[in-house]
């Protein structure tokens, strides 16, 4: 799909801001994982204040208070960047409503995440609430990546109706993997606090289902590589490498007792892989796509 686009969208400032948005939206999930892995989830035991009497952490709270309050401060940075995205997109809000409304969605996601974080504190780190916190970050990362791609391409917009079925399948199995990864975490040892509740589900079974979704994604990505060409194929090749890295990391975690270092890397890689998969799906609709989709269009 071709759209007329003002030259202002090609400005360096626009590209810098949308890339910062992508980094911030994915990075906040990584810092959140750091809070959990250091057992600092209740470093600030209340919300929106850090304690009943103080907005900020106090020396008596120690390092856990510093880590948790520091993560809360990052929300302010995320809000500033989200506002900056709307500022740089203001002049194209009429011509490119797709970009504008995605920017609005990212802005709305910031207070939404703050509220979810507050509820997680109020519920003593309920694993389902904490999991929702991560899933919203994944969704925001997808949106931020789409903004980056559409700003970079400027006059090309992927049409959701032309996305090959195979790409949808990869997206589905990836989403399933994220959900079961969240459930697995909610049943495991890294609760964010020594007294935080677990979801009570079978960790071993969840690990297997999480792994199966990754294996299914790799198989589908390999098919996508065969059927694609150009930038789409290169994107799928990178995604394949990302999945293989995640699988190797997951196996290492399971065999070494879930060390916090590997779990942290797993979360970071998950956010990177989310962005890469989004890019590959997008590329499968805007350039070189898939051979089967091209043939169908000719018919």
Tokens 């959900």: give the residue: 179
Please answer whether residues 67 and 35 qualify as being in contact, where contact means their C-beta atoms are separated by less than 8 angstroms: yes
Count, residues in the chain = 299
In the chain, domain spans = 12-157, 160-299
The radius of gyration of the chain from alpha carbons, rounded to an integer in Å, stands at: 20
Query: pLDDT for 167-203, tens place per residue?
Result: 889 999 999 999 999 999 999 888 787 778 899 999 9
Q: Which two tokens stand for residue 247?
A: 């699988």
Query: pLDDT for 76-118, tens place per residue?
Result: 999 999 999 999 999 888 888 989 999 999 999 999 999 999 9
| pLDDT score of 5 | 46
| pLDDT score of 193 | 79
Q: Give counts: helices (H), strands (E), the chain.
A: 9, 0
Tell me the pTM: 0.89
């Amino acid at each position: 799909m071709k759209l007329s686009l003002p030259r202002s969208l090609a400005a360096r400032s626009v590209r810098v801001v949308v890339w910062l948005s992508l980094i911030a939206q994915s990075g906040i999930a990584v810092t959140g994982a750091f809070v959990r892995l250091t057992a600092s989830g209740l470093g600030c035991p209340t919300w929106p204040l850090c304690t009943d009497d103080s907005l900020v952490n106090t020396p008596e709270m120690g390092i856990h208070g510093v880590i948790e309050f520091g993560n809360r401060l990052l929300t302010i940075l995320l809000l500033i960047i989200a506002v900056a995205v709307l500022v740089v997109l203001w002049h194209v809000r009429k011509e490119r409503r797709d970009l504008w409304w995605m920017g609005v969605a990212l802005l709305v996601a910031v207070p939404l995440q703050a509220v979810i974080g507050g509820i997680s504190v109020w519920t003593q780190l309920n694993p389902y609430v904490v999991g929702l916190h991560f899933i919203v970050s994944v969704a925001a990362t997808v949106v931020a990546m789409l903004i980056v791609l559409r700003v970079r391409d400027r006059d090309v917009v992927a049409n959701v109706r032309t996305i090959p079925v195979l790409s949808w399948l990869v997206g589905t199995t990836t989403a399933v993997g994220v959900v079961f990864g969240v459930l697995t975490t909610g049943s495991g040892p890294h609760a964010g606090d020594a007294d935080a509740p677990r979801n009570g589900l079978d960790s071993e079974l969840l690990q297997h289902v999480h792994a199966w979704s990754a294996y299914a994604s790799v198989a589908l990505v390999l098919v996508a590589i065969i059927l694609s060409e150009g930038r789409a194929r290169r994107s799928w090749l990178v995604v394949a490498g990302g999945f293989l890295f995640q699988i190797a990391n997951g196996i290492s975690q399971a065999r070494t007792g879930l060390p916090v270092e590997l779990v942290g890397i797993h979360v970071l890689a998950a956010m990177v892989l989310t962005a890469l998969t989004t890019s590959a799906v997008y590329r499968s609709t805007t350039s070189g796509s898939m051979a089967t989709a091209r043939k169908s269009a000719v018919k």
